[in-house]
Amino acid sequence: MKAERFDLILKGGTLVTPAGPRAADVGVRDGRIAALGTLDPDAGEQVIDVRGLHVLPGVIDTQVHFREPGLEHKEDLASGTAAAALGGVTTVFEMPNTTPSTLTALDLQDKLSRAKGRAWTDHAFFMGAAAENVEHLAALEQQPGCCGVKIFMGSSTGSLLVDDDETLLQALRNGRRRVAVHAEDEARLRERLALVRGGADVAQHPEWRDVETARLATQRVLNLARRAGRRIHVLHVTTAEEIPLLAANKDVATMEVTPQHLTLTAPECYQRLGTFAQMNPPIREARHRDALWHAIDQGIVDVVGSDHAPHTREEKARSYPTSPSGMPGVQTLLPLMLDHVNAGRLTLERLVDLVCAGPQRIYGIAGKGRVAVGYDADFTVVDLKARREITAKWLAAKCGWSPFEGITVTGWPKATIVRGNIVMREDELQGDPTGQPARFVETLSGDAGD
């Protein structure tokens, strides 16, 4: 009997599997996991020694803004996916608020074409909901390479802003896949704009975009989702007040939090970082951060995503409120969360659920999210004991800065492997960009391996 051969073997690591941590080797063939167990290293065309390291499923960041097309001075698909790979992320979902917005099948195809041969990670793109495409969303969400529909209830520009109940309900009734929602109440934002219009201290940002702005929008979209019979995913939840609402509606709603809201607090972050701490929804005081951690502990939080939203230093340095909201985060997502693991705030298994299995469950990603035979050979190899400083030199995002520069973390990505291709090792990108569009259970036609 001919011995099994593998394209790649990861030898001697601790695998984080659905059954828990396990000391075992991984064999990869044709871009998929072919075997787990004790494997003969001579059976591998390539062997990587991962003794003393943990092998996680490939990390999936389901909320990034890579700014292409139209805003490439801030970021583009090549630089954004490079940052992702350096941070241990193997798949990204990119948002539709580019220029032009992603509203049609042609817009989506343009992004997929731009990513081909330039993306270091696998990827998919959100279709934006707007009044002009709401009747077509059911067909648009079925396009290959589309991860679903994104609704902006507040804090967007042009037709991507959908703040009236009639259009929201139409969007929710047109389609079947889970819809991602930015939940801030636009009417309340406009009413409260006078608090900061004409100039204010950036510490007023969470006063303008207050708790009630978030709570009102989340309650509204939950009511509409139930009327429409549609599943929703509420992005970047920031308030203690939203958590009971979401916990009471788990049959229709899942929720995301970001590393920024789990790590930073007001007013300290605004005093230290100024407008570089400005994002939507805002960083809030410690009671909200503590509530988010409690929600993680209680199993209410489903996903951690970065909301990577870069702007240049010059743009961020403008006086508030003319300064843009958003900060980079795809490269620092995993180091920050590994540091929280080492601090005892969550277990490594819970982290894997939040950044690997959770995204897979919510969006129906085919072949990703776990270390198991038959799944894509996507791995994030980490050293839980490595102590490293987050430095500007390490960052790959075009904007060149991070609110976490100068912070030392414990836990670091050592290798990023996408479908058996080593794309990052020891802080260096490897080979050429080979990222492909992610596949989804609800859009597959024919053989899932096509």
The pLDDT tens digits for 134-169 are 999 999 999 999 999 999 998 776 778 998 999 999
The pLDDT tens digits for 237-254 are 999 999 999 999 999 999
Report all structural domains of the chain as residue ranges with CATH numbers, in order of start: 58-363 (3.20.20.140)
Cα 331 to Cα 308: distance, rounded to the nearest angstrom: 9
Structure confidence at residue 155 (pLDDT): 74
The amino acid that residue 46 corresponds to is: Q
**Is a pLDDT exceeding 70 seen at residue 310?**
yes
* Backbone φ/ψ region at 293: left (φ over 0), alpha (ψ -120 to 50), beta: alpha
DSSP one-letter code for 42: G
Question: For residues 412-433, b (16+ Cβ closer than 10 Å) or e, as one string?
Answer: bbbbbbbbbbbbbeeeebeeeb
Mean pLDDT, residues 199-226:
98
Peptide bond into 321 cis (omega under 30): yes
**Is a pLDDT exceeding 70 seen at residue 2?**
no
Q: Within 10 Å of residue 176's Cβ, how many Cβ atoms?
A: 12
Q: Locate 183 and state its tokens.
A: 């939940």
**Proportion of the chain in helix, strand, coil states, percent, rounded to 5:** 30, 25, 45
Q: Identify the band that residue 317 occupies on the pLDDT scale cut at 50, 70 and 90.
A: very high
Q: Are 433 and 81 in contact (CB under 8 A)?
A: yes
**Is a pLDDT exceeding 60 seen at residue 5?**
yes
Cα 376 to Cα 367: distance, rounded to the nearest angstrom: 5
Structure confidence at residue 444 (pLDDT): 78
Mean pLDDT, residues 26-49:
97
Close Cβ partners of 342 (under 8 Å, ≥ 6 residues apart):
384, 410, 411
Q: Which helix (H) or strand (E) holds 408?
A: strand 408-418
Give ∠ CA 147-232-180 in degrees, rounded to 5. 45
Structure confidence at residue 52 (pLDDT): 98
Q: Are 57 and 379 in contact (CB under 8 A)?
A: yes
CA distances from 360 to 57, 62, 121 (A): 11, 10, 16
Structure confidence at residue 154 (pLDDT): 87
CA distances from 132 to 102, 313, 322 (A): 12, 34, 29
The DSSP secondary structure of 176-238, one letter per residue, reads SSPEEEE---HHHHHHHGGGTTT---GGGHHHHT-HHHHHHHHHHHHHHHHHHT--EEE-S--
Structure confidence at residue 449 (pLDDT): 38
Average pLDDT, the chain: 96
Q: Identify the band that residue 65 occupies on the pLDDT scale cut at 50, 70 and 90.
A: very high
Close Cβ partners of 198 (under 8 Å, ≥ 6 residues apart):
none
Mean pLDDT, residues 357-383:
98
The amino acid that residue 284 corresponds to is: R
Give the closest residue to 247 by CA, choosing from 255, 257, 239: 255
Mean pLDDT, residues 200-225:
98
Structure confidence at residue 204 (pLDDT): 98
The pLDDT tens digits for 78-105 are 999 999 999 999 999 999 999 999 999 9
Mean pLDDT, residues 262-276:
98
Report helix, strand or coil for 126. strand
Q: Are 189 and 155 in contact (CB under 8 A)?
A: yes
Q: Are 316 and 402 in contact (CB under 8 A)?
A: no
**Is a pLDDT exceeding 50 seen at residue 450?**
no
Among 307, 339, 353, 376, the one annotated catalytic: 307
CA distances from 307 to 64, 173, 256, 263, 345 (A): 5, 26, 10, 14, 21
**Is a pLDDT exceeding 50 seen at residue 447?**
no
Cα 48 to Cα 24: distance, rounded to the nearest angstrom: 13
432 is known as an active-site residue? no
Structure confidence at residue 445 (pLDDT): 60
Question: For residues 264-303, b (16+ Cβ closer than 10 Å) or e, as one string?
Answer: bbbeebbeebbbbbbbbbbbbeeebbebbbebbeeebbbb
Give the closest residue to 242 by CA, choosing from 180, 183, 283: 183
